[in-house]
Amino acid sequence: MTLAQSINGWLRRVPAWTLYVVFALWGGWYFYLALTRSTGIWTNQVQGLEHVVGLLALKILIAILAITPIRTYTGINLVKFRRALGVSAFFLVLYHFLVWWFLDVQTLGRVVADIIKRPYITIGMGALVLLLPLAVTSNNLSIRKLGPLAWRRLHWLTYPAVLLAAVHFVWLRKGWQLEPLTYLAIIVALLLLRVKWRRLALALPGLSRG
């Protein structure tokens, strides 16, 4: 048995729902830190919470993009965790948004004004809006109702959503900073991997006909 096969065998025994527990506790832990800490990033507790929650969501979204290449290149199959990761990422993005609304800017007027006037917030909001239908249709009933093809097409919205989230991160910093640009670069690389495969898939039947 190969290493990938034994890892896959071990993963089969881990139920996907454990991820919901992990990320719920993780998000709760961040809230606890924001309540109780007052140094470093927690000197500004609200901004600290906003940042760590947003970053965790972005990391999960990157993990989702990595699942297919990991399977292609290593044979390790994480596909069964994709839904739990996607739904967790959505709830963390929602958490990030609610912290921004209720603890940071605090009034609906400021929320609306910022979404309209400030492109980096508009973009972040765009990512949340794109993730909304994905979260709503993350169940077997929706797959049946939409049909697998339409459901898959709908869930391609993940790609622009992740890209918008990364641009949101780059844009909210002062100047061009290495940390958010690194996230953006990883995301672009993971998306480019897919583009290449699509082109190959389209080109191959053409070649066989020729």
Partner 1 sequence: MRQPWKNDMNWSDVTPKAAWLNRRQLIAGGAAAVAAGPAWAKLDYKTSALSTDETPNTLEEITTYNNYYEFGTRKSDPAANAHTLKTDPWSVEIAGLVDKPGTYDLAELMTGLPLEERIYRFRCVEAWSMVIPWIGFELGKLLEKVGTQPGAKFLRMETVVRPEEMVGQRSRILDWPYVEGLRLDEAMHPLTIMATGLYGEELPNQNGAPIRLVVPWKYGFKSIKSVVKIELVAEQPVNTWQAINAREYGFYSNVNPEVDHPRWSQASERRIGGGLFAKRIDTQMFNGYGDQVASLYDGMDLTKNY
Write down the least CB distance from residue 125 to partner 1, Å. Answer: 14
Interacting residues with partner 1 (CB under 8 A): 34-35, 38-41, 43-47, 49, 103-106, 110, 113-114, 117-120, 171-179
Distance CA 2, CA 97 (A): 43
Give the residue from 46, 59, 41 showing the smallest Cα distance to 169: 59
- 142 CB-contact burial (10 Å; exposed 0-12 / middle 13-18 / buried 19+): middle
Write down the least CB distance from residue 173 to partner 1, Å. Answer: 7
The H-assigned helical ranges of 99-177 are 108-117, 119-136, 140-146, 148-155, 158-172
Looking at beta carbons only, is 14 or 179 nearer to partner 1? 179
Write down the least CB distance from residue 145 to partner 1, Å. Answer: 41
Asked whether the beta carbons of 180 and 170 are under 8 A apart, the reply is yes
Tokens of 192: 């480019």
Write down the least CB distance from residue 33 to partner 1, Å. Answer: 10
**What is the largest distance, in Å, between two alpha-carbon atoms of the chain?**
68
Looking at beta carbons only, is 113 or 203 nearer to partner 1? 113
Asked whether the beta carbons of 75 and 1 are under 8 A apart, the reply is no
Looking at beta carbons only, is 60 or 114 nearer to partner 1? 114
Looking at beta carbons only, is 34 or 57 nearer to partner 1? 34
Write down the least CB distance from residue 69 to partner 1, Å. Answer: 29
Looking at beta carbons only, is 149 or 178 nearer to partner 1? 178
Q: Which residues contact 174 (CB under 8 A, 6 or more apart)?
A: none
